[in-house]
Amino acid sequence: MDTVKFTAMKDGDKADYDLLHPLEVEYASGTADRLLTALVSLDETLSGYQVTRLGHSLQSATRAHRDGADIDWVVSALLHDIGDIFAPYNHDEYAASILKPFVREQCTWVVEKHGDFQMLYYGHHVGGNQHKRDAYKGHIYFDDCATFCERWDQSSFDPDYAHEDVAFFRDMVRAVFARDPYDPAVIRPGERVPLTSAVA
């Protein structure tokens, strides 16, 4: 396989970077499938719950889909805990960073902050701040994150809930990550889209 000539990036020339660019584009095109593989590995993380992290993620996305959420919300719900694998102390920020170039700002913000919002349900049991979400009161996406957590996140630890499998969501994930990164028509800063067909 051809390789660049340089051993320090500052020494590369146009030919080197002409070689790299299509390889980087090709690699980036596989992001969705790598994420789906990582999602499956959530089946082996964080014991103690009645469902695995994969089961929780599939339940969350299934609830979003059944609520009539759009593709940005469904994929965000599916991947909101993907950071648990490598970033257990900031899994929400990790997941949001992955999603940020490809979904609405609204969804990225909700995924990034959902850990703080989830504290409402258990913070007082672990010596944490149950009302950590209050720091974001008045934010345009505050109610969206509260609804995301109430309807799709905190409720998705039920071993009896019949959820869809990974294959059901595969084409949605591929469609989202096939978008042009940071496309203004996708990111839509400051715009709110209902989480469900019934919730504004």
Tens of pLDDT, residues 83-93: 998 999 999 99
- Number of structural domains in the chain: 1
| pLDDT-above-90 percentage for the chain | 94
143-180 per-position pLDDT tens digit: 999 999 999 999 999 999 999 999 999 999 999 999 99
- CA 117, CA 128: separation in Å to the nearest integer? 12
58-90 per-position pLDDT tens digit: 999 999 999 999 999 999 999 999 999 899 999
Q: Mean pLDDT lowest for which of 25-34, 44-53, 71-80?
A: 44-53
- Give the range of the structural domain holding residue 174, as residue numbers without chain letter: 12-187
107-111 own/partner pairs: CB under 8 Å, 24+ apart? 107/72, 107/73, 107/76, 108/76, 109/139, 109/141, 109/144, 109/145, 110/76, 110/141, 110/144, 110/145, 110/148, 111/76, 111/79, 111/80
- Nearest alpha-carbon partner for 81 in 121, 51, 125, 122: 51
Q: Mean pLDDT lowest for which of 2-11, 14-23, 41-50, 178-187?
A: 41-50
Domain-located, residue 197: no
What is the predicted pLDDT for the residue at 200?
43
Domain-located, residue 71: yes
Query: What Cα–Cα distance (Å) separates residue 38 from each residue in 15, 95, 99, 157, 177?
Result: 34, 12, 14, 20, 15
Domain-located, residue 43: yes
**Does the model's pTM come out above 0.85?**
yes
Task: Answer left, alpha or beta for residue 55, where phi above 0 means left and psi between -120 and 50 means alpha.
Answer: alpha
Domain-located, residue 3: no
Domain-located, residue 109: yes
Domain-located, residue 104: yes
Domain-located, residue 5: no
- CA 136, CA 116: separation in Å to the nearest integer? 10
Domain-located, residue 53: yes
User: What CATH number does the domain containing 26 carry?
Assistant: 1.10.3210.10
Name the band, by pLDDT with cuts 50, 70 and 90, for residue 198: low
- Mean pLDDT, all residues of the chain: 95
Owner of token pair 């805990």: 81
Q: How many CA atoms lie within 13 A of 127 on its CB side?
A: 0
